[in-house]
Amino acid sequence: MRFAQEFEYEVLTIDEIQKQIHGCIEEIKAVIQLSSATIRTLLAHFKWDTQKLLERLFDGNQEQLFADIGIVSNRTERTTPNGNESKRQCYAKSVCFICYSDDIKPHHLLRSPLLHSLLDAILDHKIMSEGDVMAITCPATDCKVVVDEEQVLQLITDETVRAKYQRLNTDSYVSSNRLLRWCPRPDCLHAFSAQTKEAHPVVCVCGKQICFGCGEDNHEPIGCQLLREWNVKSAGSNGEMIDG
């Protein structure tokens, strides 16, 4: 625990943030039987609001919730319309030839060198170029099933891509929590954690100092609102000079 003029805060590592995420997942698992991967996907969709997620899970329309997000539920996996069809189907009412084929199970697909290379290339582009890990779905046309974290980590072969994926995946948790804030230094993987969101200077282990309230460089004794107004005014003045 660190102190800045009686303001308590911590500097967390990725692993420590992951422990907080695991705690949120276990909180949901304590009241409903779902896999950790499914719960994590649901929590990310609800911006890590555990109360809102629990309300939706128990509102009587869980299957529709899963369908909207793109999650194949355990109930869907067990249900077979005529006893002869695949137990795992896409919500589009047709069997997906990539993720839910009748004769090829998902863990077998991971062993296929050709398909593994295809999915690895897709993930590489999605993560490194687009930077969007919350919208990774099955690459099959018209299939909207979400590829969860566990599956993605099995498919990624490049450690650089893996590291960025884990940072981006953790970012959904940090950005949804008003009491957490990433260190803005590009090569730093630490985040600040505080009990209240106040305008106080905080210092990262990398040496970067920012205002916890607004995330800008430390601007004491000027307040956050005054700084924002000054930045807007300064930007406007620069625009007038360029136009002139």
Tens digits of residue pLDDT in 151-181: 788 778 888 888 888 778 788 899 888 899 9
Does residue 113 have a pLDDT over 50?
yes
Top pLDDT among 91 and 25 is at: 25
Strand, helix or coil at 129?
A: helix
Which positions ≥6 away from 68 have C-beta within 8 Å?
Answer: none
Name the band, by pLDDT with cuts 50, 70 and 90, for residue 7. confident
Name the band, by pLDDT with cuts 50, 70 and 90, for residue 80. very low
CA–CA dist 142, 85 (Å, integer) = 20
Phi, psi at 132, each rounded to 5°:
-120, 100
Task: State mean pLDDT over 109-138.
Answer: 69
CA–CA dist 14, 180 (Å, integer) = 12
Does residue 147 have a pLDDT over 60?
yes
Strand order in the sheet with 180-182: 2-4, 7-12, 191-194, 180-182
How confident is the model over 41-70, as pLDDT tens digits? Answer: 889 888 889 999 999 988 878 888 888 887
* Length of the chain in terms of residues written: 244
Which residue type occupies 61?
Answer: N
Does residue 84 have a pLDDT over 80?
no
Does residue 16 have a pLDDT over 90?
yes
Question: DSSP alpha helices (H): ranges in 125-223?
Answer: 149-155, 159-176
In angstroms, how far is CA 123 from the centroid of its own chain?
A: 15
Strand, helix or coil at 196?
A: coil
CA dihedral 229, 232, 237, 239 (to 10 degrees): 180
Does residue 199 have a pLDDT over 80?
yes
Name the band, by pLDDT with cuts 50, 70 and 90, for residue 30. very high
